[in-house]
């Protein structure tokens, strides 16, 4: 009994310490939480300068075939450690901050179209010694991933598309309706309250994040407001439908049925454009399946990759 009381007291004191840490030192707490998530996933922060001087900061971990994970608009590399924890035992996982976001370079006058970002990432992959790879992208990252495959089809073995952007013929989403009726873009953050509201808009089932931590994350977005406004205008006018029509790269298309940023009906349109695609609609999930249902998302992807491997073995046997 005494031992149980001691353990209970220790847990209570530990909880109080954590709460105090979060509220008294939120910036340090945020860095600590992100570091723990990366550590659990087996990811290590790295940096590289390309031949033209472009500076990338990225996470890398695991062994096996390279898998490039691309974050969406306004996000950064820390969108993926939750799902990467289930992927690093199988693949060499690489998660860069896009140019213009996170810790990578922020050139103010650069071209931020999907084509320009895809070509930068191609140079990034070459600098890492990668000749062929599998590519995943969420939202804007999916728009870039599809463009990468269209530009370099012989080098991309498969695509994992988590609510990708760029299919603008789809039915309007709640986000598009807000922008068209109010002239305000909820993706662009001016203050901490707007960021808290954005988290609720993006995810139907977000992880529990203390408001003080959200405020720290908001400030990065606030500092990048002007550049993000410019980037959004470029990607929002870049339709990739004709670019990817008939693309034969095997693709797993995943959408949350409660996605408020991009209409889930987009999945069927993209499925029609990609002859070797599969679609999974996740119930009660918003725009970030890899965060909201990390393990399920990873398991779906691993089954997809296993299916591709089985198909390849059957072809080899016939040959």
Q: Does residue 248 surpass a pLDDT of 60?
A: yes
HSE (side-chain half, CA atoms, 13 Å) at 54: 25
Cite the active site residues. Answer: 71, 139
Residue 213 lies in a domain: yes
pLDDT at 12 over 90: no
For the segment 221-227, the average pLDDT, to the nearest whole number, is: 97
Task: State which residues form the domain around 82.
Answer: 43-318
CATH number at residue 305: 3.40.50.1820
User: How far is the C-alpha of 155 from the C-alpha of 112, rounded, in Å?
Assistant: 22
pLDDT of 9 strictly over 50: no
pLDDT at 313: 79
- Is residue 3, in this structure, part of any structural domain at all? no
Q: Which tokens in the block code for residue 125?
A: 């992959």
At 144-196, the pLDDT tens digits run 999 999 999 999 999 999 999 999 999 999 999 999 999 999 999 999 999 99
Residue 217, domain member (yes or no): yes
Q: Is the pLDDT of residue 10 over 50?
A: no
In a domain, 5, yes or no: no
Does 36 map to a domain?
Answer: no
Sheet hosting strand 277-282, strand order edge to edge:
44-49, 55-61, 92-96, 66-70, 133-138, 156-162, 251-256, 277-282
pLDDT for 314 beyond 80:
no
CB atoms within 10 A of CB 41: 23
pTM, whole model, 2 decimals?
0.92
pLDDT score recorded for residue 19? 52
Inside any domain, residue 34: no
Establish if 224 belongs to a structural domain. Answer: yes
Only one residue has tokens 């408020």, namely 260
Radius of gyration of the chain, Cα coordinates, nearest whole angstrom: 20
Residue 315's pLDDT is 72
Residues of the chain with pLDDT > 70, as a percent, come to 92
Q: How far is residue 101's CA from residue 88's CA, in Å, rounded to a whole number?
A: 24
Average pLDDT, the chain: 92
| Number of domains the chain contains | 1
Buried b (16+ CB within 10 A) or exposed e, 170-182: beebebbebbeee
pLDDT at 311: 83
The pLDDT tens digits for 37-84 are 999 999 999 999 999 999 999 999 999 999 999 999 999 999 999 999
Which of the four pLDDT bands, split at 50, 70 and 90, describes residue 319? low
pLDDT tens for each residue of 90-136: 999 999 999 999 999 999 999 999 999 999 999 999 999 999 999 99
Q: What is the mean pLDDT of residues 246-261?
A: 98
DSSP characters over 143-191: HHHHHHHHH-TTTEEEEEEES-S--TTSPPPHHHHHHHHHS--TTS-SS
133 lies in a domain?
Answer: yes
Euclidean distance between CA atoms 142 and 98, whole angstroms:
12
């Amino acid at each position: 009994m005494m031992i149980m009381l001691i353990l209970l007291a220790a847990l209570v004191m530990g909880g109080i310490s954590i709460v105090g840490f979060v509220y008294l030192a939120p910036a340090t707490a945020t860095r600590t939480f992100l570091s723990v998530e990366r550590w659990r996933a087996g990811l290590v922060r790295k940096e590289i300068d390309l031949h033209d001087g472009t500076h990338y900061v990225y996470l890398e971990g695991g062994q096996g075939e390279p898998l490039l994970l691309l974050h969406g608009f306004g996000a950064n590399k820390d969108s993926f450690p939750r799902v990467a924890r289930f992927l690093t035992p199988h693949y060499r996982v690489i998660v860069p901050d896009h140019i213009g976001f996170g810790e990578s370079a922020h050139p103010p006058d650069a071209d931020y179209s999907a084509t320009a970002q895809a070509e930068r990432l191609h140079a990034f992959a070459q600098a890492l010694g990668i000749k062929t790879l599998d590519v995943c992208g969420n939202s804007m990252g999916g728009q870039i991933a599809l463009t990468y495959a269209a530009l370099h089809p012989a080098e991309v073995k498969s695509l994992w598309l988590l609510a990708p952007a760029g299919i603008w013929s789809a039915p309007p989403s709640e986000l598009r309706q807000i922008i068209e009726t109010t002239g305000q873009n909820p993706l662009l953050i001016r203050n901490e309250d707007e960021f808290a509201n954005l988290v609720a808009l993006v995810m139907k089932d977000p992880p529990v994040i203390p408001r003080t931590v959200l405020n720290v994350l908001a400030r990065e977005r606030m500092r990048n407001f002007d550049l993000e406004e410019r980037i959004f205008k470029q990607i929002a006018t870049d339709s990739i439908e004709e670019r990817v029509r008939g693309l034969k790269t095997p693709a797993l298309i995943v959408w949350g049925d409660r996605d408020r940023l991009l209409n889930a009906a987009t999945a069927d349109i993209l499925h029609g454009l990609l002859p070797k695609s599969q679609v999974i609609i996740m119930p009660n999930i918003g725009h970030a399946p890899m965060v909201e249902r990390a393990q399920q998302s990873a398991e779906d992807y691993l089954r997809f990759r296993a299916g591709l491997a089985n198909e390849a073995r059957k072809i080899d046997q016939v040959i």
